[in-house]
Each structure stands twice: as structure tokens, then as C-alpha cells.
Structure 1
Amino acid sequence: MSLTPRVNEEVVEKCEKLYQRIKKDAACVSATSDAHVWDEKPSWFDEKKFKKGQETALKYFTSVFLSHTIGLTVLFNIPTMITPLAVTRTHASVSKLFTRYLAVFIHVKKWYETDPYEKGSLGHKSLKMVNNFHRKVGSDMNKSVIEPGKNPVWISQYDMAVTVWCVIAPVILDPKKIGFHGITREEIENLMHVWACIGRLLGVEDRFNIMTGSYDEAHYLCTIIKEREYKPIIEKMEFPSSVGFETCKGIAIGLQPLSPYVSLQGFMRYWYSIFDFKVDVPVESPLAEKAGYILLHFIFRLPFSQYFFSVILRYFLDYCDKNRKSIAAKLAKLYPDDVLPYIPPDKFQPKELLARS
């Protein structure tokens, strides 16, 4: 089946309603509420589709990893996303970004490899840990919010919606340019179902979930979120988005040990141009940038290339996990400066930052 999105009046009307709901209401609703039973299967859960989606993620594991990495190098331009990270200091330096996002990718790998709804599974334990962390940060930061609920809050449904966007937008908007050669509409919709479920497991309410529809709807939603939420903020580059952009570049540098032969900064620059973001992304190694382009457009077309590179990526994930302290120490020496300065939790109200988009 064709991957060309079929956009008609029905798709536009449905997606515009969801977007307006996210824009108008989602920022005032917490994504860390105890009222949300995070590990309860929703009525729309399809076990067969979920398992097939996990299989798709593992089949294209390297491209999925690159898609998630590219999304992260965009996400933290959103001012309500970067501020909590500045408060927690977990993203202060390149070495901390390496430690943080190595852990994130190990978490995500567990979500693809196990049943996250099964209590005691690696995926379930992982999601419980992530939710507890989000809940603590949200609870602490929302103490300084004026009339939370009436006004926007930290770690809101809006924040989670743009986070789900960052995870999967490259796959939906231009799969071939991230190495998904031969992927079908069915495979993408199965992968969407996985992220509709994981989004819900991370606190996304059904009324704000951007992955529960068809591929056509997801493509339209990802396009308008890119154009209306990300692009204006990135091109204005106001504080704290300006330090968010530096953090995005820091993520590409920090995760480089997972991909030593191609430039993740190069992927970031390439995809910023695809997204039509008018901002320059410097690259330390033009040769490694070119190697990444060749990988995406030519090597990944070859039979078994995805399997071969997924084996290599898994090796580097395991190697970096076992040697994280020594790698972090080396990165701290190479990049001693902070990329994300501390921002006091009461410096901004979420409402103030959201007014800029």
C-alpha cells in the first residue's frame, strides 16, 4: 500500500479538533496525576497490532534509534520542556546528557522487547520508574505555579503530546530519509499503535493522544505540530529555547559513543533542513556527516543491512552501558562547559512560556 498520505476534509476536521484541544486544554492538565491508572489497558488496545508494532521496531531498530535521536534534538527547543530539565540539572553537560539518554534508550529498548502491561516485566518496571520520576519533578515544580489546573502546569498533557511527536515524527513524515526503505503503511500504523500505548502508559490521556488514528491523520497532525509549535519557537530562538537548542546539540554530541562511525550532529543538521527549520547546526566531522547520508540513502536499501547495523547498535548500547562511568568521564574532560545552565523553578510560569509559541 502507498505511503502517500490521503488527506481529505474528514481527516483535516478530525485532526484540527484534536490539535485545538491540545492547544487550548492540554497545558492545564497534568500528565502525572494519580487519577490516571497508567498501566491499565485502554479499550482500543489491540494486542496483535501492538506485538506487530514491536516487531517492526526491532526489524528497523537502527532507524528507530536514529528517529528517536533526531526527535530529541528537536524536542528541547520547546520552552516548557527545557525548563524542568534545567531545574533537575540532569542535562547540565555533555557527559550528563550521555548518561541520561543512554539510560533513556535502554528504557525504550525494554518497551520494545517486553510486555509493558505485564507486572514484573522489564518494560513495566522501567515505565514505573520513569513515571515516578516525572511525578516527583512535576509535583515539586508545580508548587510554584499560580492556580495549577486553571493555569498551565509543568509536565502537562501538552508537553507529553509534543514528546510523542518527537519520538515518531521522522518515521511518519519522511520514513525513507531515516532509512525505513520498504516499510509499509501497516507497519507504520502498528508502530503508531505501540506509541499510542506507550504514550498512555506515560500519562497521556486518550483525548490528547496523537497516535490513536490512521497514518493519514498522524501525518497531518505531525505536520501541523511541526509548523505551528516547533518551527516558530526554533526560528525565534528566545531564552530558554536558546539554551534548549544548545542542549539539543549537546545530545547529538553526548550520544556519539553509540554511533562512532557516523555523525549524529550531521543527522541533526540534515533533519533540521528536512523540517525546514531556519537555523544552522554545526558539524565537527563533515566526513562522518557524509557517511551518515550514505548509510540512510544507500546502505539501508541493501538486504539484511538493518539487521547487521542493529547488531552493531545493540553491541554499542551494551558496551556503553557497561562502561558508562569511564565514557562519561572522558566526555567531561572533552566538553567541560555546561550546555544547560540552572534555571530556578519559579523563574517562569508555564503560561508565560506557552504564550511565546
Structure 2
Amino acid sequence: LVFFIYIFILFLAAKTLFAKIIVEGSSIPCDIGSGIDLEQKLPQWYDEAKFKRGQKYFFDNRFGMMQANYCGLVSLLCDPKGLTILHNTGRSSTAETARKRYISTTLHMLSWYEIDLSPGSKSWDSLMRVRKMHLNASKRSQEKEIGFITQTEVSLTVFGFLGYALIRPHLLGIRYDNDDDREGFVHFWAVVAAMLGVHDRFNICLPKLAVVEMICKICQRYIFMPLLQIETTLFRSMVQAIVDGLSEFTPFNSYESLMYFVRRVAGIPGYQHNVDLKKETVCRKIFSKEEMTNMRKVFEGKPGYEYMEQSVIDDRILLFNIKQVNGAIELNQDSLDNNLVSGVYNKLNDQPISKNFLIELLGLKHNEELVIEAVENEEDWISNLNDSKLELLSDKDLRYFKFKCRLMEKNYTRIGNFLNESMLSWMLYRMRKAHSSQ
């Protein structure tokens, strides 16, 4: 009984924080004022020993951590508003600009792991520089009426750096048998998040390790599982730019093989190739109808968030499939508004918003339809766990995907880890060399 009470308390803490991040955080900017007004200091709860243990945990699992970050980056690009903000910076839309941006991002992040965090250090200056960039991007977004970067967005960005490493390590070659190491890793990101402007009450890494894991699973289930299935034209072009821009450092990669790998890590049904199905669990329904409604209201009437209203923050797990058809089957927008989501979508009504929503959502051709299946319970979930999406990959993409999976599996062996780390060291050397010549 005590154990169940303890689990209930953990779940309550996790769902409360998640709801707070989505609802309250959405109206609070990441930062205000100008760059010179920003105050940089270590949080009062900073623990140097835990922080350094988190740094060491990263380096003990560096290859897998970098793969987790890559998956996290792709997942974060699914956010419609964040993607629009990024696109409007003009620094990520082409292979060349993406190459420069993500080399810089990688080296910034590595400095946080490599160098002691103290005033005047390279990592300290790096965090301040990144925070100022976020503030400037937020201001430009406001000017273009996209909206400022909120506490919600910067809080969820932290998931991109630690979420998959924490809750899906077995698919990334990351060792996860020591909770003290993992607590250090979580504390490291709690500190980094605070230094980047995340308020303590929205910091997903401040609670106990078990609560942080639950919050990450909630983010996985309610946000990233649905969004990773929705490929807008902008999303595809931005991810393709990353693949092309980093091709000299990450060969044997393609958009299709990368997306299959990321969706496999995210646990989306249909992508369970060579995985332990016992570990393919999903966060259960934990929100009341009123709580779900309050979270959905955050997205109402916000340009760019139309499909967030329809498909994210839903008690059901929605599976999206595009299929070729000969005939046309119509489903009116009202069906969506009334939560009758399961079905076939070929045409929405003639309202401009609905048309734009459909075009941006998937850009369906005249002979394509969107089939949406709602996973309602545990039985539905289990029946959908398979690798059926594998057949959609070309022979080349299939080879790339399986090669990446083998690298993750072999990373648990001594020789495999040595080879992976050596390959990564060479890649990072070339990145630093390329960065210095820019």
C-alpha cells in the first residue's frame, strides 16, 4: 500500500508540473528587456558534486548521448511555433546555414560538459551568449507577430537534450544502471536550464529523478509522439537541411532513415524494429477532462497551432497514416471539433483556416488521404507494436537505418564503444576545424 501511495504522489507531482508548464508557462516570456539586463548567476540549489557527476556521465556515454541529442533536435523541430521562429532567423533553412548553426550548437553544448561552470569560464560565457540569442530571436518573433518565446518552449527544449537519454537509453547505447549518475545528469540540466532563463517553477529537472522520468514520459506521450508523425513542408525542408548540412560529419544518413530512427526512439507504434516490446510502455491516461480542456485552450486561436489543438494533448494516442486512394472520402471539420477523430480525411470544409490547416499539415495530393487511428487502451497499444513502417523505406534508407541501430547495440561492447567513440572524436575534430575556419 505504501508503495502505491508513493507512486501516486510521484504521478501527481509530475502531472501537476507538466500542466503548469503548458498552461502557466505559455504566457510568460523566456526573458525580457535587453541582453545587457540579463543577470547570470548560479542557482541557489547548485550542487557542484552532482553537476560534475552529470558531466562525467555524459562523457562515459558520449556517443549515445550525441545520438539522443540528434533525436531530441528533430523532435523539437516538430513544434510549429518553435520551427517558425527558427525559420525566421534565416540561419537554418539551407544546408549551408544549418551546417554552421548546428556545428555551433554542438560546440556550445560540449563546452557546458567539458568546462567547470564559473564566472568568466568558456561555458559560462557560452550559456550567456545562447540566452541572448534566444532573447533576440524572441523579440524578432514578436515584431513579426509570431509571438515571444515562452517558458513553455524553453522548458520543453530541455527535453530535447536529456529526455530520450533518460527514458529511452536502451535504444541509444547509453548505460543506465546507476541512479546516482542519472541524478547527476538531471541536476546538470536543471542548472543549465536555470542559466538559460527557465524559472524554477517550470524547470522539469528540479524534482526527484523518478518525477523527472515521469515528466519526460508525459512529454513523450502527449506531445512528441503525435507531433513526430505530422510532417509539414517546412518541417521536412528544415530537417533535410540538417541532414544535408551535416552529411560530411554524419555519413550513411538520409531524411527517411533518420525519421524512422527518431520515431523508433520516441516509441511510436509501427516503428518497433528489433526492440524489446516489454520496454515499449507508454504513460497511462493521467489527466481529467477538465485538465485536458485547460491545456488545449492554450493553443486556441494561435496561428501555427491549429493542429496542436486537434492532435496534441489528447488522452488517446493518435496514429497518422497517409494512403493512396482512387476515390474521395470527405470528413467535415466539425467531426474534428467534436473529438470524433478516428477516420479518413481527404477534404475539409471551405473555410480558409481549414484549407490552410490541411495544406500546411500534410500537403495532401488529390489521390492521398489521411487515415487516423485512435489507440484507446492497453490492448490497442499492444496490437499496434510492430515494425510495419519498415516497408516504406527504400533499400538504401533501410541499410542506413539498420547500420545506425547496430552502432547503438554494439556500443554496449568494449570494442564497439571504442570504435564509436573514436569515430565521434574524429567527427568532432572536423567540426571544430570547420568552425574555426568560418
- Is the 1:72–1:251 Cα contact (8 Å) retained in structure 2? no
Question: Aligned-residue CA RMSD in angstroms?
Answer: 2.8
- Is the 1:31–1:157 Cα contact (8 Å) retained in structure 2? yes
- Structure 2 stretches lacking a partner, 5+ long: 269-318, 321-388
| Greater percentage in strand | 2
Matched residue of 1:323: which SS?
Answer: helix
Aligned to 1:155: 149
Matched residue of 1:256: which SS?
Answer: coil
Q: 1:314–1:34: structure 2 CA closer, same or farther, 3 Å change rule?
A: farther
Normalised to the residue count of structure 1, the TM-score between the two structures is 0.78
Alignment pair present for 1:97 and 2:102: no
Matched residue of 2:24: which SS?
Answer: helix
* Structure 2 residue corresponding to 1:189, chosen from 154, 171, 183: 183
Alignment pair present for 1:69 and 2:70: yes
Give, in angstroms, the shift of residue 307 of structure 1: 4.7
Matched residue of 1:301: which SS?
Answer: coil
Aligned length in residues: 311
Aligned to 1:88: 89
The 5 Å alignment of 1:247-262 reads: 247-260=238-251
Matched residue of 2:138: which SS?
Answer: helix
The 5 Å alignment of 1:199-278 reads: 199-237=193-231, 241-260=232-251, 266-277=257-268, 278=319
Q: Distance in 1 between matches of 2:253 and 2:181?
A: 27
Matched residue of 1:40: which SS?
Answer: coil
The 5 Å alignment of 1:107-122 reads: 107-116=108-117, 118-122=118-122
- Is the 1:267–1:289 Cα contact (8 Å) retained in structure 2? yes
Q: 1:67–1:224: structure 2 CA closer, same or farther, 3 Å change rule?
A: same
Q: 1:217–1:179: structure 2 CA closer, same or farther, 3 Å change rule?
A: same
Aligned to 1:317: 428
- Is the 2:243–2:253 Cα contact (8 Å) retained in structure 1? no
Give, in angstroms, the shift of residue 38 of structure 1: 5.0
Give, in angstroms, the shift of residue 7 of structure 1: 7.5
- Is the 1:114–1:121 Cα contact (8 Å) retained in structure 2? yes
- For residues 23-69 of structure 1, the C-alpha deviation after alignment (integer angstroms, 9 at most, x for no partner) is 11111111123599653222221110000100111111111111101
- For residues 94-133 of structure 1, the C-alpha deviation after alignment (integer angstroms, 9 at most, x for no partner) is 22212111110011010000123x1221111211211121
- Is the 2:99–2:242 Cα contact (8 Å) retained in structure 1? yes
Alignment pair present for 1:296 and 2:376: no
Same amino acid, percent of matched pairs: 21
- Is the 2:76–2:160 Cα contact (8 Å) retained in structure 1? yes
Q: RCO (CA 8 Å, sep 6+): is it higher in 1 or 2?
A: 1
Q: 1:271–1:232: structure 2 CA closer, same or farther, 3 Å change rule?
A: closer
The 5 Å alignment of 1:3-82 reads: 8-34=7-33, 39-82=40-83
Q: 1:259–1:77: structure 2 CA closer, same or farther, 3 Å change rule?
A: same
- For residues 201-250 of structure 1, the C-alpha deviation after alignment (integer angstroms, 9 at most, x for no partner) is 1111100000112222122111111222223334455xxx5412442343
Q: 1:38–1:244: structure 2 CA closer, same or farther, 3 Å change rule?
A: farther
Q: 1:236–1:63: structure 2 CA closer, same or farther, 3 Å change rule?
A: closer
Matched residue of 1:257: which SS?
Answer: coil
Aligned to 1:348: none
- Structure 1 stretches lacking a partner, 5+ long: 1-5, 146-151, 329-357
- Is the 1:68–1:167 Cα contact (8 Å) retained in structure 2? yes
- Is the 2:68–2:165 Cα contact (8 Å) retained in structure 1? yes
Report the AA paired with residue 184 of structure 1.
Answer: N
- Is the 1:38–1:201 Cα contact (8 Å) retained in structure 2? no
Matched residue of 1:91: which SS?
Answer: coil
Q: Distance in 1 between matches of 2:76 and 2:83?
A: 8
Normalised to the residue count of structure 2, the TM-score between the two structures is 0.65
Aligned to 1:149: none
Aligned to 1:135: 135
Q: 1:216–1:182: structure 2 CA closer, same or farther, 3 Å change rule?
A: closer
Matched residue of 1:8: which SS?
Answer: helix
Report the AA paired with residue 399 of structure 2.
Answer: L
Give, in angstroms, the shift of residue 254 of structure 1: 2.8
Q: 1:273–1:185: structure 2 CA closer, same or farther, 3 Å change rule?
A: same
Q: Distance in 2 between matches of 1:265 and 1:49?
A: 38
Q: Distance in 2 between matches of 1:282 and 1:205?
A: 42
- Is the 2:224–2:266 Cα contact (8 Å) retained in structure 1? no
Give, in angstroms, the shift of residue 170 of structure 1: 1.0
Aligned to 1:170: 164
Q: Distance in 1 between matches of 2:430 and 2:65?
A: 19
Report the AA paired with residue 160 of structure 2.
Answer: C
Q: Distance in 1 between matches of 2:218 and 2:194?
A: 22
